Amino acid sequence: MPLSLSTVKVIGTRFSAFIHRAEVALRLKGVPYELITEDLNNKSELLLKHNPVHKKVPILLHGDRSIPESLIIIEYVDEQCFRLVWLALWTDGGAREGFEKEAKEGLAPNRHCLALLEGQLEGKRFFSGDCIGYVDIATSVLTYWLAAMDEFAGVKLMNAEEYPSLCRWAREYTSSEAVKGCLPDWDQLVTAYAANKEKFVIVAKTLI
């Protein structure tokens, strides 16, 4: 069933950049959705039922399907990737393996460094051209959320002297109509991040 003709729900939290990815993807496609807000310190049965392995949000609920992982949600919302998922499901043998690999590995998180991203933005309004697209949404953590973390982390990673294009892009991204409608309140976001600083440090250690 097309997304626009069925009830779509997003299980998420109010302050997460991962949820933001899913929300903007839906908004850009004009798909109405309900945001079900989770307390991650006290996860609901609904969350555990739909993402029993990783127990993380966002999770997109579409009919009887549940789709975890924000980048997979963007891909799912985007018809082009749905084509790959569809092919991975409904082809056979080697072709199926190829599509499955492409559908899975093509979704790896964006690991581009800032300098590389800066170069890619040269002469362009957004990564995709004149309009917000997949890379802009996937990279959106570098906009509002990075700036909020800068407030208490004591680092300014993305400064205007070194990264003028990225900083201009971040301003344009956060002031676009689709994005503005689902940005969390700034003061609440900074407060929520500050309260989780210890957790962030622990997570960083696991990533070394």
Ligand X SMILES: N[C@@H](CCC(=O)N[C@@H](CS)C(=O)NCC(=O)O)C(=O)O
Instruction: Taking the CA atoms of 42, 73, 146 and 108 in sequence, report the sign of the dihedral they define.
Output: positive
β-pairing verdict for 65-68 and 59-62 = antiparallel
- Can you tell me which of 31, 35, 36, 40 binds ligand X, judged by CB under 6 A? 40
29 DSSP assignment: T
Task: Write out the DSSP string of 120-182.
Answer: HHTT-SBTTBSS--HHHHHTGGGTHHHHHHHHHHS---S-TTT-HHHHHHHHHHHTSHHHHTT
Our CB check for ligand X shows the closer of 58 and 184 to be 58
For residues 102 to 141, the per-residue mask of contacts with ligand X, x marking binding by CB under 6 A and - elsewhere, is ----------------------------------------
Our CB check for ligand X shows the closer of 17 and 178 to be 17
| Span near ligand X by CB under 6 A; candidates 55-63, 110-118, 138-146, 181-189 | 55-63
User: Shortest gap between Cβ of 56 and ligand X (angstroms)?
Assistant: 3
For residues 148 to 187, the per-residue mask of contacts with ligand X, x marking binding by CB under 6 A and - elsewhere, is ----------------------------------------
CA 156 vs CA 1, 15, 117: distances in Å: 45, 20, 17
| Contact status, residue 45 vs residue 11, Cβ threshold 8 Å | no
Residue type for position 180? K
For residues 66 to 105, the per-residue mask of contacts with ligand X, x marking binding by CB under 6 A and - elsewhere, is ---xxx----------------------------------
Q: Binders of ligand X: how many residues, by CB under 6 A?
A: 11
User: Shortest gap between Cβ of 171 and ligand X (angstroms)?
Assistant: 24
What's the CA angle centered on 138, arms 132 and 144, to 5 degrees?
80
Instruction: Taking the CA atoms of 29, 30, 36 and 41 in sequence, report the sign of the dihedral they define.
Output: positive
Three-class secondary structure of residue 36 per DSSP: strand
- Can you tell me which of 20, 26, 58, 144 binds ligand X, judged by CB under 6 A? 58
- Can you tell me which of 18, 33, 99, 127 binds ligand X, judged by CB under 6 A? 18
Our CB check for ligand X shows the closer of 20 and 118 to be 20
Give me the residues that bind ligand X (CB under 6 A), please: 13, 16, 18, 40, 55-58, 69-71
